[in-house]
Amino acid sequence: MSSSNRPLSPHLQVYKFPLTVKTSILHRITGLLLAFGLVVFVYWLTALATNTTAADKLRAWLLTVPGQILVYLWLLTFFYHFCNGIRHLFWDVGKGFTNEQAQRSAVAVLVASLLLTVLTFFLAS
């Protein structure tokens, strides 16, 4: 077979990912980000138990504007991963597999995670 008769596959620039694919990729990314955030959290707990000066320095940095942005982004990743995990639990029992239901649940997960993050921001203020 000559190379001119071979079918051409679309490149990633041509292919548009559906929302359900984007949410699946985002679920994996948020899992990784939560793991990195857990390292910071464990460091803070260890510093509280052993070196209060280091814990105070970390707390002081987390209260700055960049620190607060990082904390709320971490909360957003937590709430997204949590809500999407609930969505996966429904899938585990066989609910919500149609395209329309999967699309609606993807939007619901995004909205719920944003609302929970904003609610946490206002309750913490």
Chain position carrying tokens 């504007």: 65
pLDDT tens-digit profile, the chain (125 residues):
556 676 677 776 777 889 999 999 999 999 999 999 999 999 999 999 999 999 999 999 999 999 999 999 999 999 999 999 999 999 999 999 999 999 999 999 999 999 999 999 999 98
Domains of the chain: 17-124 (1.20.1300.10)
Tell me if 58 sits within 8 A of 43, measured CB to CB.
yes
pLDDT at 25: 96
Return binding residues for heme: 81
Tell me if 55 sits within 8 A of 48, measured CB to CB.
yes
pLDDT at 37: 93
pLDDT at 125: 83
From the CB of residue 29, how many other CB atoms can be counted at a distance below 10 Å? 13
Return binding residues: 81
**Nearest residue to 88 (alpha-carbon basis) of 31, 35, 41, 38:** 31
Q: Determine the Cα–Cα distance for residues 41 and 35; give it in Å rounded to an integer.
A: 10
